[in-house]
Amino acid sequence: MSERQRRTLLEDVAREAGVSTASVSRVLNQAPHVSERLKAKVESAVARLGYVPDGSARALASRRIGAIGALVPTLDNPIFGTMADNLERQLKGHDCRLLLATYRYDLDDELQALRTLVQHGVDGIVLIGHEHHDQTYALLQQRQLPFVTSWQTSTTAQGPCIGFDNAAAARQLVQHLLGLGHRRFGIITAPFGQNDRARARLQGFTDTLTAAGCPAPQIEVVDYGIAEGAAACARLLTSDRPPSALLCGNDTLALGALLEAQRRGVRVPDALSITGFDDLPQAAFMTPALTTVSVPAKDIGIQAADALMGWIRHGHRPADITLEAQVKLRQSTGPVPD
Amino acid sequence: MSERQRRTLLEDVAREAGVSTASVSRVLNQAPHVSERLKAKVESAVARLGYVPDGSARALASRRIGAIGALVPTLDNPIFGTMADNLERQLKGHDCRLLLATYRYDLDDELQALRTLVQHGVDGIVLIGHEHHDQTYALLQQRQLPFVTSWQTSTTAQGPCIGFDNAAAARQLVQHLLGLGHRRFGIITAPFGQNDRARARLQGFTDTLTAAGCPAPQIEVVDYGIAEGAAACARLLTSDRPPSALLCGNDTLALGALLEAQRRGVRVPDALSITGFDDLPQAAFMTPALTTVSVPAKDIGIQAADALMGWIRHGHRPADITLEAQVKLRQSTGPVPD
DNA sequence: ATTATTTTTGTAAGCGCTTACAAAGCGTAC
DNA sequence: GTACGCTTTGTAAGCGCTTACAAAAATAAT
């Protein structure tokens, strides 16, 4: 066949349409002050030639790449999958792409990942939580890069924030259990050294317990996973004075705990109450259905996209948004056993 | 403070180091034929100036952007989250970024999403399954873009493929159940019109049943979700001649079915056997633990990254890779009731 | 020492767009 | 009819890199 031919360029479209390259560019970018006639000529030439603009060249010349970056701890946790999914879909509606990077809860890795995203020239950034490397904030600041933080209401307000109050929801769970007469609590939490959401939840738990004058809870710190939750539950149940209520930092740990309790013949909620956090799809379907907190993962994705695009396109820095995290009282919690 | 200053450019580094811009570029890109002395000079200048290269300019000049695109149906299904997570991490090891797009099992959307990824200039593409728009393949072909397909062993081999044999695994599940004496089957599957993996699984189920001379199974086609699985299970259990074994197209549907059966007091596996597909983390932890197929989501992500990077960097088109999908016989399947 | 090779470095021409600025067109008021 | 303002279009200078090609330096061969 014909030898590998040159791709169609904007210049070719201009020639074909009998106009200047600037005009073609204007039509393509929906610039103001373009006559209908010009628009029609260009569009037909584009169609005739099957022209596809080159993103790199456009990015270099315009200094926007049409993509934002998201830094998430991991996609192995479906709650972040849900957020990322909705973020990406909403961005698509704004004609924007998603560059995704994960950092396994390691804030050094996060900084590293941010650097490469910045290098790529992303137009904005979505961050999870407020705790980040100082240099992370410094880089964002220095580049004047629009960014939002998420998943946790702002306390320090380094940037616009789209989140919910983890501590308050945790408090509500404890209050619910206190109301049921519980006094001896166990807590299973993910490592919270680099994770302010986990820390806020834990703080919500312990503060409320302390305020109510309960004995100090036993705290198990374990990695994410059903097996990890189960093991932690086993340790708590076999301790000297086993708790009557188990507060878990997320649903996955709670599911592990629930299954372990059942395996040991400990009846939930009769002998042991268990709470989760996240409201994963399966939480409502367990027997007993899991008392937990429904986190607005979907909304965070959507609102983050809208907020960021508004900032990037129209320059107005978005306001903080506080979303609701609803406590779902279900069957895994009940009155304290006699 | 000082007025908004110009960013440090490669040119500045060259001046600072007293060398040409070409030399700086060579050092930065680890080109061959660079003396240690030059390298040291440039690196120190880079460090002194805190130079960060501009990805867009680099992309335009070099015609590679250092990112690949992945088109996944959805991230709401954690199995794709796992794949994406591992894909991204492995790419990071190759100093490559991930542009992620979802298409909700709509192949027109997929084509549209591919177009924007191509426009952005991605260096390669990861696709799920083999069934795609003709134009999807045409575009890939026309642009000579490295791509791999995944999740399903190749039959038509439009491109290198990293997958496993869905139909064979499905067949094994049925054979296991046939061996337990089952003859009346129900099938719960996701819509398979645009989803060759679901179709392969279904085909594996029905072909094996037909070959064994079983009566035609009742087939429920439902969307992804626990509730959907539960509802489908309810319909099957209340039909004229309820099945003794339920084959589910994925674990989420199977979990729904399992929970619904238990809610109705139908004992699993004594009165009803249930199988899943995917081996989600919770499958092993249900009571009874779910008989299912462990799919190599993690490995697919890793191998897809390696294969694609090998192709992009070194030009050798990767060979097909068939990964193992292991059937996990657990407690949700048992002998047919008398 | 001279020439042929090979390695290292520099020069400068793009990569394919966007956009500041200037020029042209057009309508209205005088 | 001319002058003025507004809208529409064109000209051309970049955007910040990479890399083909040429020149220079270093090394080997004669």
With a pLDDT cut of 90, the percent of chain A lying above it is 90
Q: In this predicted structure, what is the pLDDT of residue A157?
A: 67
Pairwise CB contact (< 8 Å): B82 & A76: yes
Distance, CA of A321 to CA of A311 (rounded, Å): 14
The closest alpha carbon to A176, from A273, A267, A252, belongs to A273
Burial grade of B245 (CB within 10 A; 0-12, 13-18, 19 or more): buried
Q: In this predicted structure, what is the pLDDT of residue B6?
A: 74
Residue B284 identity? A
Split at pLDDT 50, 70, 90, the class of A3 is very low
Pairwise CB contact (< 8 Å): B113 & A92: yes
Instruction: Say if A287 is an interface residue toward chain B (CB within 8 Å).
Output: yes
Pairwise CB contact (< 8 Å): A53 & B119: yes
Distance from CA of B214 to the nearest CA of A (A): 32
Q: In this predicted structure, what is the pLDDT of residue B3?
A: 38
Q: Whole-number Å distance, CA A37 to C1' C25? A: 14
What does residue B197 show for φ and ψ, rounded to 5 degrees?
-70, -45
Please write the tens of the pLDDT for every residue from A37-93: 889 999 999 999 999 999 999 999 999 999 999 999 999 999 999 999 999 999 999
With a pLDDT cut of 90, the percent of chain B lying above it is 90
Q: How many residues does chain A have?
A: 338
Residue A39 identity? K
Please write the tens of the pLDDT for every residue from A300-312: 999 999 999 999 9
Split at pLDDT 50, 70, 90, the class of A12 is very high
The closest alpha carbon to A86, from A103, A70, A104, belongs to A70
Q: Which of A285, A287, A302, A330 to mutate to test the interface with B (most CBs of B within 10 A)?
A: A285
Q: Strand, coil or helix: what is A188?
A: strand
Say which of A85, A97, A225 has its CB closest to residue B120.
A97
Residue A191 identity? P
Please write the tens of the pLDDT for every residue from A108-166: 999 999 999 999 999 999 999 999 999 999 999 988 899 999 999 977 768 899 999 99
Distance, CA of A207 to CA of A61 (rounded, Å): 54
For residue B19, pLDDT over 90 is answered with yes
Distance, CA of B212 to CA of B185 (rounded, Å): 12
Q: Strand, coil or helix: what is A67?
A: strand
Distance, CA of B296 to CA of B304 (rounded, Å): 12
Answer for the pair B66, B312: CB distance below 8 angstroms, yes or no.
no
Report long-range pairs for B142-149 (Cβ below 8 Å, ≥24 apart).
Answer: B143/B118, B145/B118, B146/B308, B146/B311, B146/B312, B146/B317, B147/B308, B148/B124, B148/B304, B148/B307, B148/B308, B148/B318
Pairwise CB contact (< 8 Å): A82 & B76: yes
Answer for the pair B294, B134: CB distance below 8 angstroms, yes or no.
no
Split at pLDDT 50, 70, 90, the class of A6 is confident
CB of residue B104 closer than 7 A to nucleic acid strand D? no
Q: Strand, coil or helix: what is A298?
A: helix
Which chain A residues contact residue B264 at CB under 8 A? none
CB of residue A94 closer than 7 A to nucleic acid strand C? no
Q: Where are the alpha helices (DSSP H) in chain A?
A: 10-17, 21-28, 36-49, 55-62, 78-93, 107-120, 134-142, 166-179, 196-211, 226-237, 251-263, 297-314
Q: In this predicted structure, what is the pLDDT of residue B35?
A: 87
In B97-136, the residues whose Cβ lies within 8 Å of chain A are 97-102, 113, 115-121
User: What average pLDDT does range B275-284 have in this prediction?
Assistant: 96
CB of residue B35 closer than 7 A to nucleic acid strand C? yes
What does residue B68 show for φ and ψ, rounded to 5 degrees?
-115, 160
The DSSP code sequence of A110-176 is HHHHHHHHHHHT-S-EEESSS---HHHHHHHHHTT--EEEESS--SS-SS-EEE--HHHHHHHHHHH
Q: A182 pairs with which residues across the strands?
A: none
Pairwise CB contact (< 8 Å): A119 & B56: no
Pairwise CB contact (< 8 Å): A67 & B230: no
Mean pLDDT of chain A: 94
Q: In this predicted structure, what is the pLDDT of residue A5?
A: 60
Q: Whole-number Å distance, CA A6 to C1' D19? A: 19
Q: In this predicted structure, what is the pLDDT of residue B157?
A: 66
Q: Whole-number Å distance, CA A90 to C1' D10? A: 38
Instruction: Say if A92 is an interface residue toward chain B (CB within 8 Å).
Output: yes
Return the DSSP state at A332: T
Mean pLDDT of chain B: 94
User: If DSSP states are collapsed to H, E and C, what string results for chain B?
Assistant: CCCCCCCCCHHHHHHHHCCCHHHHHHHHCCCCCCCHHHHHHHHHHHHHHCCCCCHHHHHHHHCCCCEEEEEECCCCCHHHHHHHHHHHHHHHHCCCEEEEEECCCCHHHHHHHHHHHHHHCCCCEEECCCCCCHHHHHHHHHCCCCEEEECCCCCCCCCCEEECCHHHHHHHHHHHHHHCCCCCEEEEECCCCCCHHHHHHHHHHHHHHHHCCCCCCEEEECCCCHHHHHHHHHHHHCCCCCCCEEEECCHHHHHHHHHHHHHCCCCCCCCCEEECCECCHHHHHCCCCCEEEECCHHHHHHHHHHHHHHHHHHCCCCCCEECCCEEECCCCCCCCCC
With a pLDDT cut of 70, the percent of chain B lying above it is 98
CB of residue A65 closer than 7 A to nucleic acid strand C? no
Which chain B residues contact residue A77 at CB under 8 A? 81
Q: Whole-number Å distance, CA B187 to C1' D18? A: 57
Q: In this predicted structure, what is the pLDDT of residue A4?
A: 46
CB count in 10 Å sphere of residue A298: 18
Distance, CA of A168 to CA of A174 (rounded, Å): 10
User: What average pLDDT does range B249-263 have in this prediction?
Assistant: 96
User: What average pLDDT does range A235-258 have in this prediction?
Assistant: 97
Distance from the Cα of residue B178 to its chain's centroid: 31
Which nucleotides of strand C lie under 7 Å from a protein CB? 7-12, 14-20
Instruction: Say if A80 is an interface residue toward chain B (CB within 8 Å).
Output: yes
Domains in chain B: ranges and CATH? 10-53 (1.10.260.40), 66-164+297-325 (3.40.50.2300), 166-294 (3.40.50.2300)
Q: Compute the count of residue pairs across chains A and B with CB atoms less than 8 Å apart.
A: 147
Distance from CA of B74 to the nearest CA of A (A): 7
CB of residue B119 closer than 7 A to nucleic acid strand C? no
Q: Whole-number Å distance, CA B20 to C1' C10? A: 6
Q: In this predicted structure, what is the pLDDT of residue A1?
A: 32
Split at pLDDT 50, 70, 90, the class of B5 is low
Answer for the pair B69, B114: CB distance below 8 angstroms, yes or no.
yes
Distance from CA of A300 to the nearest CA of B (A): 14
A161-163 and A218-221: which strand pairing?
A: unpaired
Which chain A residues contact residue B225 at CB under 8 A? 281
Which range has the worst mean pLDDT, A37-41, B86-90, B147-151?
A: A37-41
Pairwise CB contact (< 8 Å): B92 & A82: no
Please write the tens of the pLDDT for every residue from B163-173: 999 999 999 99
Burial A126-155 (b: 16+ CB within 10 A, else e): bbbbbbbbeebbebbeebebbbbbbbbbbe
Instruction: Say if A64 is an interface residue toward chain B (CB within 8 Å).
Output: no
CB of residue B22 closer than 7 A to nucleic acid strand C? yes
Q: In this predicted structure, what is the pLDDT of residue B52?
A: 92
The closest alpha carbon to A70, from A93, A50, A90, belongs to A90
CB count in 10 Å sphere of residue B325: 23
When computed from its CA atoms, the radius of gyration of chain B, rounded to whole angstroms, is 26
CB count in 10 Å sphere of residue B276: 30
Distance, CA of A244 to CA of A229 (rounded, Å): 16
Return the DSSP state at A335: P
What are A265's two structure tokens?
A: 């013949």
Q: Whole-number Å distance, CA A230 to C1' C10? A: 66
Distance, CA of B308 to CA of B69 (rounded, Å): 11
Q: In this predicted structure, what is the pLDDT of residue A2?
A: 33
User: What average pLDDT does range B181-194 have in this prediction?
Assistant: 97
Distance, CA of A295 to CA of B15 (rounded, Å): 53
User: What average pLDDT does range A227-249 have in this prediction?
Assistant: 97
Which range has the worst mean pLDDT, A93-97, A244-248, B82-86, B154-158?
A: B154-158
